[in-house]
Amino acid sequence: MEFKLNVNGKVSQTEADSDTPLLYVLRDNLGLQGPKYGCGLGQCGACTVLINGEAVRSCVTPVGSVKSSNVVTLEGLGTPEQPHPVQQAFIDEQAVQCGYCINGMVMTSVVLLRKTPRPSEAQIRQALANNLCRCGTHTRIVKAVQRAAEPRPTALSGG
Straight-line distance from the first to the last Cα atom of the chain, in angstroms, rounded to the nearest whole number: 45
Cα–Cα distances in angstroms (integers) from residue 26 to residues 41, 46, 119, in the given order: 17, 13, 31
Q: What does the alpha-carbon distance between residue 61 and residue 67 come to, in Å, rounded to a whole number?
A: 11
Region 41-70 residues binding another protein, contact defined as CB under 8 A:
none
Taking CB under 8 A as the binding criterion, the range among 50-58, 74-82, 124-132, 149-157 that sits at the site for another protein is: 74-82
Q: Which of 158, 145, 9 is nearest to 88 (CA)?
A: 145
- Tell me how far the alpha carbon of residue 6 is from its chain's centroid: 16
Which one, 98 or 129, has the nearer CB to another protein? 98
* 18 burial type by CB count under 10 A (0-12 exposed, 13-18 middle, 19+ buried): exposed
Q: Cβ 119 to another protein, closest distance in Å? A: 19
- Window 96-135: residues binding another protein (CB under 8 A): 96-100, 102-103, 106, 135
**# of chain residues touching another protein (CB under 8 A):** 37
* Type of residue found at 6: N
Question: Residue 71's beta-bridge partner residues?
Answer: 7, 51
Contact 150, 118 (CB under 8 A): no
Using the contact rule CB under 8 A, the part of the chain among 15-23, 50-58, 120-128, 151-159 near another protein is 15-23
From the list 32-40, 64-72, 118-126, 148-156, the region that binds another protein by CB under 8 A is 32-40
Segment lying near another protein (by CB under 8 A), choices 21-29, 111-119, 123-131, 149-157: 21-29
Residues that bind another protein (CB under 8 A): 16-17, 19-21, 24, 27-28, 31-37, 40, 73-75, 77-80, 83, 87, 90-91, 94, 96-100, 102-103, 106, 135
